[in-house]
Structure 1
Amino acid sequence: MAKVTISLDSDLAIEVMLLAGTKSPQDAVELVVRDYLARGRRTEARTGDATDQDRLSDRRSAPEEGR
């Protein structure tokens, strides 16, 4: 896997390290990014994605029952 080098403000790096519970800023940022991606996948799995718009539009246009 290719590696990328980025620069962060030291206060931001320290805060991420404290939240992630790591001693290395690189490990902390990697954990945060992996968590962010995993959350996005879980949210997409629960709510659908852009390809689901046709299926969802049929449900929205139907009148509600019981009113």
Structure 2
Amino acid sequence: MNLHDIPQNPDEHVRFAAYLDKLRQVADANEVDLVSRVLTDPDQTMAQSAVLRHLDRRAADLYPNLAYEG
């Protein structure tokens, strides 16, 4: 899974959704590389939001207890 599949769409909302999709599907071994690549997006606020959303999802998956509810 790489970012070359994501069109260089000028709409940050489209890129955000595409990043989340790629992050949802990435293998554990490739996760750090993909996160690093997402963070190279020119819109740093959007890129950081995508990564934080991904990390929230991962945390909830790793610790599916009521203590980690939004």
What TM-score range do you get, normalising by the shorter chain?
A: 0.3 to 0.5
- Relative contact order, higher structure (CA 8 A, sep 6+): 2
Q: Which has the larger radius of gyration?
A: 1
| TM-score scaled by length of structure 2 | 0.34
